[in-house]
């Protein structure tokens, strides 16, 4: 997939607050994500309630047991929206 990757300010704020081990996990997952955001190893799935609220498809990638990254696609761009626990889904 050839796409431009962007991240929101909220994502970066929360990413930089993560402990080093979790940052490393996010970076490793991003290497897979850049090749294919829907790679089965990422456990990518649509978050239906957030998608309805936002008016566009919102997806989640599993980084660790309770660490997720939310993203959406807009044209040729993949936008990372947020990072955190399952509480993101509310």
State the CATH number of the domain containing residue 84. Answer: 3.30.2310.20
Mean pLDDT across the stretch 78-88? 91
How many domains does one find in the chain?
Answer: 1
pLDDT band at 32 (very low <50, low <70, confident <90, very high): very high
- Residue 1, pLDDT > 70, answer no
- State which residues form the domain around 8: 4-89
Strand order in the sheet with 67-74: 4-7, 77-84, 67-74, 59-64, 45-46
- Token readout for 74 is 């807009």
**pTM score over 0.85:** yes
In angstroms, rounded to a whole number, what is the distance separating the alpha carbons of residues 32 and 49?
A: 26
Could you give phi then psi for residue 27, rounded to 5 degrees? -65, -40
Query: Which pLDDT score, from 0 to 100, does residue 43 have?
Result: 95
């Amino acid at each position: 997939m050839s796409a431009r990757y962007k991240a929101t300010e909220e994502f970066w704020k929360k990413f930089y607050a993560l402990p080093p081990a979790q940052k490393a996990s996010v970076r490793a997952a991003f290497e897979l994500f850049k090749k294919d955001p829907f790679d089965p190893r990422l456990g990518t799935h649509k978050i239906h309630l957030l998608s309805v609220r936002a008016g566009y498809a919102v997806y989640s990638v599993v980084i660790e047991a309770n660490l997720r990254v939310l993203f959406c696609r807009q044209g040729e761009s993949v936008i990372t929206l947020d990072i955190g626990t399952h509480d993101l889904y509310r």
